[in-house]
Amino acid sequence: MKRLTLTRFMIEEQRRSGALPSELRLLIETVARACKTINHAIGKGALGEVLGSLGSENVQGEVQKKLDVIANELLLEANEWGGHLAAMASEEMETIHRIPNRYPKGEYLLLFDPIDGSSNIDVGLSVGTIFSVLRAPADASGREVTEQDFLQRGSEQVAAGYAIYGPQTLLVLTLGTGVYEFTLDREIGAWKMTDGPLKIPAGNCEFAINSARHKQWSPAITRYIDERLAGEDGPCGKDYNMRWTASMVADVHRILKRGGVFLYPADHRHANKARLRLMYEANPMAFLIEQAGGSANNGHERILDILPTGLHERVGVILGDREEVETVAAYGREALATAGS
């Protein structure tokens, strides 16, 4: 079966819609090439001396794994000379990375979590790279790009995707016209389309949540999970399954392929305490999920509508099957109405 390569897919998309600028196509090609290099580094494992921690902490106060830093450097080096970008931002860097003056600047902003799920690296579980592309403000071409230029709603994204470094090496991408999956042909190093346009299958009774955090849950989340744990004897009338990989990329990919819902709610006791980062985790995943017919909110507000106040802002995330996500939001509205009455 002849499969489209990523390059041919994007060139044909460019011809079909005329809406895919060459600069954006070349940016995605560059990111995809960097993900191949990251995949190679991860695949070496202990043999490549790339496992374990550095002993340092990142801006999030999280222990940095060697591969967090390696992957971050690979993405910066691959993307800073191409002329597509005005600047980059990463989970691993406190502030933005401007394009050095020795290189031409472009009109896009690239944000990424270089290794998502890094706590899984040393134990051989799937991890990934998440990326998001925004346009730099029109007036930015005549001045230095600032962090403020990145603080755009997720609905402004022009592309988003992730790579998964697992049993297969996958790249899942949206350019705003559907979600497409590419598998790395490791023999020739080409990304080949293996699925798409992806649509989240409805009715899969499967939820992903870290149940150890139940003390953080609001009454609405607790009600939603308790009902699913009650299974066919409870109000759902059917049994549910649970999965938690501690790698958002892996959980989101499972949902895109077979349905279900992912929940990492904000801490109910301290509304500003959440785990996942808005700009380079929640926003790109929300864009992909919505493009595949699903929903993504923070329990009451659509993720892609949130106006960021900081580069590393965190947010509660409920995403996946539209009906399940809406059920959680409805329980939240009911809980608010009850509390207010």
- Per CB under 6 A, the segment of 74-82, 117-125, 135-143, 144-152 that binds ligand AFP is 117-125
Q: Which of 48, 246, 267, 322 binds ligand AFP (CB under 6 A)?
A: 246
DSSP 279: I
- Per CB under 6 A, the segment of 5-13, 113-121, 160-168, 195-203 that binds ligand AFP is 113-121
What's the one-letter identity of residue 293? G
The count of residues interacting with ligand AFP (CB under 6 A) is: 12
> In the bound complex, what is the minimum distance in angstroms from residue 242's beta carbon to ligand AFP?
13
Pattern 274-303, ligand AFP, x by CB under 6 A: -xx---------------------------
Give the CB-nearest residue to ligand AFP: 248
Q: Taking CB under 6 A as the rule, does residue 62 contact ligand AFP?
A: yes
| Closer Cβ to ligand AFP, 106 or 114, answer by number | 114
Read out DSSP for 103-115? S---SEEEEEEEE
Q: Spell out the residues 6+ positions from residue 192 whose beta carbon is closer than 8 angstroms to its own.
A: 3, 4, 5, 6, 182, 183, 184, 185
Q: Taking a C-beta distance cutoff of 8 angstroms, is the pair 88, 41 a contact?
A: no
Q: Which H or E element spans position 79?
A: helix 66-79
| Closer Cβ to ligand AFP, 117 or 332, answer by number | 117
Q: Taking CB under 6 A as the rule, does residue 256 contact ligand AFP?
A: no
Q: Taking CB under 6 A as the rule, does residue 247 contact ligand AFP?
A: yes
> In the bound complex, what is the minimum distance in angstroms from residue 141's beta carbon to ligand AFP?
34
| Closer Cβ to ligand AFP, 80 or 281, answer by number | 281
Q: What are the CA-CA distances from residue 263 to residues 211, 248, 268, 297, 320 (Å)?
A: 10, 10, 13, 10, 9
Q: Which of 80, 92, 107, 116 binds ligand AFP (CB under 6 A)?
A: 116
Q: Taking a C-beta distance cutoff of 8 angstroms, is the pair 86, 108 a contact?
A: yes
Give the CA-trace dihedral at 108, 110, 310, 271, to 10 degrees. 130
Q: Taking a C-beta distance cutoff of 8 angstroms, is the pair 277, 312 a contact?
A: yes
What is d(CA 140, CA 125) in angstroms, rounded to the nearest whole number? 41
Q: Taking CB under 6 A as the rule, does residue 210 contact ligand AFP?
A: yes
Residues found near ligand AFP in the complex (CB under 6 A): 62, 116-119, 210, 246-248, 264, 275-276
